[in-house]
Amino acid sequence: MTSDIVELVPVEVTASLQADFDDWGCTVHFGQDVPAFLCGRAPDRIADWRRATRDGSPLGRILYGECLAEGVETDRNAAAAFELYHSVAREDYLEGMWLTGECLLDGAGTPRDRKAALQWFEKAAGGEFAPAEYSLGLMHLDGTVVRPDALTAAEWFLKAANRGYVPAQTKLGKMLLRGEKLKQDVAFGLELLERAAKRGYAKAQLALGAWYYEPLVGPPNPRESLRWYREGAKNGCGDSMFRIGLMNENAIGMMRDEREAAEWYVRAAAAGHVEAAFRVGKFYFGGIVLPFDPPEGLRWLKFAALKGHAEAAREWERRTAPKDD
């Protein structure tokens, strides 16, 4: 545990600290990017969170623990983060119980103990805390510690989904839509996905785009597919960006436009999409749809290769091999 964390004593919760905590909770609940939230908020607020932690505030301990866990505005220290979460969990805060369970499940800052993780999730779920209900659903679905049971998993997902937890809405919606380990229910699956998608959850938007592109029931709907892919792209989903590129390149639901496709591949590559990075690298060597730029082409080929793309690795090796005199 870091040296600036001292014995905890009761502290009055300030309005600004409560607002920070509420905003963090909304970020979690709606499946948004917690590290991005921290990066946006912590530069101005971490001193107050650290001070609140010293003073014993459970809210401060959660927020400062998150900074320690992610290495935002402080050195990454998973063990110190776990100690803070655990201290809050012992005071019966549901958020602390859930975070403690997540650490134990992953072995983050503490030895992995999946049975203990299950117990913390069950305790938090007893307080109707949706993220813990979702975590329990995943454990039952995967058979982690417990016997694999898709129906029990679905029950937990549904509880969390009904509380508006968008990762649960998306997970259950996808399972129902495609009949994965559950009886197929297209109407309810689409309803759940649309609930999450309308909250800006990129994974739900991607799932809807994929469904309308290639549904298991009924004809494809390229226009609706493109609409949801575009929504996912707005929310930074590299896979959605890549699929828009594919639709442009293959004239699906639109006129063929290789230049537009290349622009979407560039965006997807910048968002970390490996196949897009490989294609962008080749485009820069082709010099047709993108300017001829071998250094940039090598950069993207190397990126894809380091992410495990075998063809990109072969192409990069071929392009960088010494030339015979």
DSSP string over 253-318: SS---HHHHHHHHHHHHHTT-HHHHHHHHHHHHHTSSS---HHHHHHHHHHHHHTT-HHHHHHHHH
Mean pLDDT of 181-203: 97
pTM to 2 decimal places: 0.90
Task: Provide the pLDDT for residue 2.
Answer: 41
**Domains of the chain with CATH codes:** 1-100 (no CATH), 221-319 (1.25.40.10)
Task: Provide the pLDDT for residue 15.
Answer: 85
Average pLDDT of every residue of the chain: 94
Mean pLDDT of 300-313: 97
Task: Provide the pLDDT for residue 322.
Answer: 87
The token pair at 147 is 């016997």
Q: How does residue 255 score in pLDDT terms, banded at 50, 70 and 90?
A: confident
Task: Provide the pLDDT for residue 172.
Answer: 98
Task: Provide the pLDDT for residue 3.
Answer: 41
Is the model's pLDDT at 9 over the cut of 60?
no
Mean pLDDT of 227-231: 98
Task: Provide the pLDDT for residue 325.
Answer: 58
The token pair at 11 is 């502290």
Q: How does residue 254 score in pLDDT terms, banded at 50, 70 and 90?
A: confident
Residue 222's contacts (CB-CB under 8 Å, 6 or more residues apart) are: 212, 213, 247, 252, 253, 254
Q: How does residue 265 score in pLDDT terms, banded at 50, 70 and 90?
A: very high
Q: Which helix (H) or strand (E) holds 164?
A: none
What would the pLDDT profile of 63-85 be if each residue is shown by its tens digit?
A: 999 999 999 999 999 999 999 99
Task: Provide the pLDDT for residue 134.
Answer: 98
Contacts 24+ apart (CB under 8 A), 136-141: 137/168, 137/171, 138/171, 139/105, 139/114, 141/181
SS3 138: helix
